[in-house]
Each structure stands twice: as C-alpha cells, then as structure tokens.
Amino acid sequence: GAVVSQHPSWVICKSGTSVKIECRSLDFQATTMFWYRQFPKQSLMLMATSNEGSKATYEQGVEKDKFLINHASLTLSTLTVTSAHPEDSSFYICSARDASSLAKNIQYFGAGTRLSVL
Amino acid sequence: DQQVKQNSPSLSVQEGRISILNCDYTNSMFDYFLWYKKYPAEGPTFLISISSIKDKNEDGRFTVFLNKSAKHLSLHIVPSQPGDSAVYFCAARAGGSQGNLIFGKGTKLSVKP
C-alpha cells in the first residue's frame, strides 16, 4: 500500500515554543492531506484539510493561527503548533489521499507524532 | 452528535475463533465505509472498505457486512490471530469522493492465544 511518512515521531518541547511536524507521501501524489488529533481513548478528530497550493480548511473549534498548515507540494504538508502549551500535548496524525484513488477515498496515515509540552 | 458509533470499547476473543466488530451510523448520506486497524503509537492502517451499493466485501480473513436499513456495519475476522490485537476504527464518508471521513471511537480487540 501507499506510504505516508510523518516526522518526528515524538517531540518534547518547552511551553511557548513552536513545533513543526512534517507529513510526506512517499510513493504517490497527495492532492489532499488531513491532520488529526487523538486524545487518549478517543477517536481521531479531524483538525484541518489541506489541498496542495491552497489554504487549509479548519474544523470548527480549531484555531488556525495556533495550528499552521502548509501544503506546498503534492508530497509534503506541515503542521506547526505555534506557542505550544501543555494542553496542546497530544498525538497528532496526518493522512494523505491518493489523487488516483478518489473513487475509493482511501486515506493513508502516517505513524503519528506524540507531542509533549512541558 | 456522534455520527459513527462503535459502542463496544473492547472485545476479547480466543485465537482461532471469529471476531465481530460492530459499527452503527446515523447519517443516511454516508456512501462509503472503511475499517482501519491501529497499533499503539502508530497511525491507522487501512484494512477493508465497502460501498453503500454493496452489502458484503471480503478480503482474506476479513469480511465487512453492511446493513443499510439498520445503518449498521460489522467487520468479521476469522480465524482470529494474536497479531490481530489492535484498535479497530470504523469510518464513514459522505459527500462523494471529496467527502471527509468520520471516525468512530474505536474498539480494542484482544485475541488470546
């Protein structure tokens, strides 16, 4: 299956600093990428959807100035958590949708990034 | 309002037996359903999917059944293996090929040797 690489897998940072998470589709072009957040024992909550070359669409309640998303190419999207605080500590997962499999709408997921803000 | 519900947070099955994971949904506009498997500290892995025009899709040990009238789908794993132990998420899509996926909360499956 298609591979989505997410980096870093774990990051610990001090409160007030910014953290960038990268998501790459390795063997396919992803016109659309998604960023999710997962709280313990909860489902995946969609934060935002990004299409290559355009601004991301954020879900209700997600601060776009807090979670900056850039989808500059068909294989790379980045999520930057700005001025991180302890309440931002969570598991962040990206996924990418293969442009050639729209009919199946299969999303391929990265391995996730555990963010711990001290 | 939860549109996709997985009412069993956990399920324990003996190796070799059948595992049945259930999922209910409320939105009649959902037209595509997917199951993902997730190990701890990893991203979900796509398992199997089904279109709303079908009622069954089979792939090896995995079969998904869809009952549209009941707004219910289930994932059957037979025979279950210890390596199947993971959290299984049900997801549904509305809005055609551009629609986002709505995930259930997941069911943790434990397959005991």
Model pLDDT for residues B29-72, shown as the tens digit of each residue:
898 999 999 988 788 999 999 999 999 999 999 999 999 999 99
* Rounded Cα–Cα distance for residues A105 and B51 (Å): 11
- Pick B24 or A105 by higher pLDDT: B24
- Is residue B25 within 8 A of residue B4, CB to CB? The reply is yes
Q: Which pLDDT does position B76 carry in this prediction?
A: 98
Mean pLDDT of A59-74: 91
Cβ separation of A105 and B101 shorter than 8 Å?
yes
Bond into B113 cis (ω within 30):
no
pLDDT at residue B20 in the model:
98
For the ranges A6-15, A90-99, B46-55, B75-84, the lowest mean pLDDT is seen at A90-99
Q: Closest CB to A111: pick one of B9, B43, B104.
A: B43
Confidence of residue A99 (pLDDT cuts 50, 70, 90): low
Of chain A, the percentage scoring pLDDT greater than 70 comes to 93
Q: Which residue has the tokens 């299969």?
A: A106
Residue A104 pLDDT greater than 70, yes or no: no
Residue A43, chain B, CB below 8 Å: the answer is: yes
pLDDT attached to residue A102: 52
pLDDT tens for A49-65 read 998 888 899 999 999 99
Average pLDDT over residues A87-111: 82
Q: How far apart are CA A105 and CA A32, in angstroms?
A: 11
Confidence of residue A1 (pLDDT cuts 50, 70, 90): low
- Asked whether the predicted pLDDT for residue A91 surpasses 70, the reply is yes
Instruction: Name the residue in chain A with its Cα closest to that of B96.
Output: A103
State residue A3's pLDDT score: 86
What is the predicted pLDDT for the residue at B98?
66
Considering only the beta carbons, identify the residue of A94, A106, A110 that sits closest to B34: A106
Q: Which of residues B19 and B43 earns the better pLDDT score?
A: B19
- Residues A78-107, mean pLDDT to the nearest whole number: 85
CB hemisphere CA count around B100 (13 angstroms): 20
Q: pLDDT per residue over B85-108, tens digit each?
A: 999 999 998 776 667 788 898 999
Give the pLDDT of residue A40. 77
Contact A105 B106 (CB under 8 A): no
How far apart CA A4 and CA A68 sit, in angstroms, is: 20
Name the E strands within B8-77: 10-14, 19-25, 32-38, 45-51, 56-59, 62-67, 72-77
